[in-house]
Chain A
Amino acid sequence: MDEILVLVDHVDGVVRKPALELLTLARRIGTPVAVVLGAGDAVAAVAAKAGEFGAERVVTAEASEFADYLVVPKVDALAQIAASVNPAAVLVTSSGEGKEIAARLALRLGSGVITDAVDLTASEQGPVATQSAFAASFTVTSRVSHGIAVITVKPNAAAPEQAPAAGTIETVTVAFSPAATGTKVTSRTARVSTGRPELTEAAIVVSGGRGVGAAEGFSVVEALADSLGAAVGASRAAVDAGWYPHSNQVGQTGKQVSPQLYIANGISGAIQHRAGMQTSKTIVAVNKDPEAPIFELADFGVVGDLFAVLPQLTEEIKTRKG
């Protein structure tokens, strides 16, 4: 069977859920070979996890360059590993970094690159990717027609499945290119965890927009989110006003989410916001303007003041959950 190289994204040894999704997708189109890049103990922990999720082989490389310099060291490693494994495809998580790694890798391999796949299937002409285009108003299927297919896949494209495999570890030493040390990371500040689920990984997302009115107003949005075990999102208007962090922005220039349930509060539903949430399974909106475009996509809408509706909803959920 064709081997599929999967770059396993992790934060200090903790594998990110999208990476497990990639391994699951890779099993669908071939035999997963995981690539784990990092330094120290983190690498062994990540390698073990990759084996649990279907990696027959795990190629690891340890070097401080991966953390100290931007993007290129990882590209050097992947290019070197791809040359020896000769896979049918390389899968990378669709993050800002992931897309840059994939693009540069594709150029070096003489390959085409596809970004932001939401699904992957096997075909005689190689992997076929499904993508959303124009703010999710089109579904596109595409393939790489030249070289090893390099594809970045969005979070939530598949449910990660455990599939214990050999997970045989091979350690390589990367010969870094002169470009590897071009962009130095002079400091890194980890984002403080809120204790809530990751926006892109959450089954339920509760968002607030300009209608929330102030930073303090987000407490009603957060209370509803917590009653549902949901992540909190925000429109760009709310982020630009400084009411909520940019890392929580949903939309074209924020996160693209596709949860089971999306609850939009005080959000009008501009095309750029829709680009980030339109593919959610069920959409609910609370807005005081009955003409707000968000109602055109909502499965259930309440025309009303979010400061009245949300607290009542939160209470009711708590009562029902007991």
Chain B
Amino acid sequence: MSLRIVVCVKYVPDATGDRRFAEDFTTDRDGVDGLLSELDEYGVEQALRIAEASGDAEVTVLTVGGDDAKDALRKALSMGADKAVHVNDDDIHGSDAIATSAVLAAAVGKAGFDLVVCGMASTDGTMGVVPALLAERLGVPGVTLVSEVAVNGGTVTGRRDGDSATEVLEASLPAVVSVTDQSGEARYPSFKGIMAAKKKPVQSWDLDDLGLDAERVGLAGAWTVVDAAVARPARTAGTVVKDEGEGGRQLAEFLAAQKFI
């Protein structure tokens, strides 16, 4: 039976743009250009490599997001994924990580999976918890934050570079994997890939399709509240000197004045 891989990708505001919060303290997704999270490109890449190595696999990309999020799916399809699922429902707006993971878990379950691949973190929320939450909800092993991953038969292995040690991990499928930006450069979509993507199937599901209660998700179902989001005063540029042979000593003078030496 072919290996069913589901890659979770998020459509995020461009980090090089002017990111901000909307009035309800959710991430402003209207006023800012969006894109497929760069960190999820690594997930798509590893999924494609695993599929290529297996020879008999199907890669589905899955996103939970508003209308624009289809752009993220298009990009992943043009990189080489086979089909896509877009979970889109107004009631999902403002979901926290716990609620997002409930939607993703239901969608992954409906799609059917042997392996779920995620990025290490979303570039907007940067929590890095959805993959662990997904594994917990699905009741399958989590092989997370790995910089190397391979699937052999029914086993997934990975290398996790932690703070104090490097660990080699092993688990049986089905499993959830999350990959870091050290896992290998993501491919660029080829012209052929972009053309082919236009014909690939994209399914749209809402909360009803997933049998989920609107109360459980969105701002209403969030188990955390934001009381305030305040722009940090921009750092003001200080003194800049040009090195004309004394730059190092001038810098030492500054550090001494600040009591660092």
Chain A interface residues (CB < 8 Å from chain B): 11, 70-72, 75, 95-97, 99-100, 102-104, 106-108, 111-116, 128, 132-147, 179, 182-191, 204, 228, 236, 246-247, 252-253, 260-261, 271-272, 278, 282-284, 286, 290, 295-305, 308-317, 320-321
Partner of A228, one of B161, B162, B169, B260: B260
Q: Which secondary structure characterizes the binding site on chain B?
A: mixed
Some 20 contacts from A to B, beta carbons below 8 A apart, are A99-B129, A128-B227, A134-B15, A135-B15, A135-B19, A137-B232, A147-B223, A179-B136, A183-B175, A186-B168, A189-B165, A204-B260, A252-B126, A271-B16, A282-B258, A299-B238, A300-B240, A300-B254, A304-B243, A309-B247
* B203 on interface, CB distance cutoff 8 Å: no
- Select the stretch in B49-57, B106-114, B142-150, B194-202 that faces chain A: B142-150
Contact A317 B255 (CB under 8 A): yes
* B1 on interface, CB distance cutoff 8 Å: no
Complex Cα distance, B160 from A246, in Å, reads: 12
Q: Which residues of B contact A302 (CB under 8 A)?
A: 240-243, 247-248, 250-251
Query: Which B213-258 residues have C-beta < 8 A from chain A?
Result: 222-232, 235, 237-243, 247-252, 254-256, 258
Contact A144 B224 (CB under 8 A): yes
Q: Which residues of B contact A114 (CB under 8 A)?
A: 224
Distance (whole angstroms) from the CB of A44 to the closest CB of chain B: 20
Interface centre among B97, B101, B147 (most CB of A within 10 A): B97
Contact B181 A295 (CB under 8 A): no
Contact A191 B164 (CB under 8 A): yes
Contact B139 A312 (CB under 8 A): no
Known interface pairs A71-B132, A100-B132, A138-B231. Does A308 touch B163 (Cβ–Cβ under 8 Å)? no
When each residue 97-125 of chain B gets 1 if its CB lies under 8 Å from chain A and 0 otherwise, what string results?
Answer: 11001000000000000000000110110
**Closest chain A residue, CB of each to CB of B124:** A134
* B29 on interface, CB distance cutoff 8 Å: no
Contact B248 A301 (CB under 8 A): no
Interface centre among B97, B163, B249 (most CB of A within 10 A): B163
Partner of B182, one of A106, A146, A246: A246
Complex Cα distance, B160 from A100, in Å, reads: 13
* B2 on interface, CB distance cutoff 8 Å: no
Contact A139 B243 (CB under 8 A): no
Contact A140 B254 (CB under 8 A): no
Q: Which residues of A contact B224 (CB under 8 A)?
A: 112-114, 142-146
Complex Cα distance, B21 from A141, in Å, reads: 13
Known interface pairs A191-B166, A304-B247. Does A182 touch B225 (Cβ–Cβ under 8 Å)? no
Contact A145 B225 (CB under 8 A): yes
Q: Which residues of A contact B160 (CB under 8 A)?
A: 70, 96
Contact B132 A143 (CB under 8 A): no
Contact A139 B230 (CB under 8 A): yes
Contact A182 B161 (CB under 8 A): no
Distance (whole angstroms) from the CB of B199 to the closest CB of chain A: 34
Partner of A100, one of B96, B129, B165, B255: B129
Contact B248 A142 (CB under 8 A): no
* B128 on interface, CB distance cutoff 8 Å: yes
* B171 on interface, CB distance cutoff 8 Å: yes
Contact A320 B252 (CB under 8 A): yes
When each residue 123-141 of chain B gets 1 if its CB lies under 8 Å from chain A and 0 otherwise, what string results?
Answer: 1101111011101110111
Partner of A112, one of B16, B222, B255: B222
Contact B136 A272 (CB under 8 A): no
Complex Cα distance, B249 from A311, in Å, reads: 10
Contact B228 A141 (CB under 8 A): yes
Q: Which residues of B contact A144 (CB under 8 A)?
A: 223-224
* B170 on interface, CB distance cutoff 8 Å: yes
Distance (whole angstroms) from the CB of A20 to the closest CB of chain B: 16
Q: Which residues of B contact A72 (CB under 8 A)?
A: 142
Contact B232 A142 (CB under 8 A): no
Partner of B241, one of A100, A252, A303: A303
**Closest chain B residue, CB of each to CB of A101:** B132
- A sample of 5 more A-B contacts (CB under 8 A), given A103-B97, A107-B133, A186-B169, is A114-B224, A134-B124, A145-B222, A183-B171, A309-B251
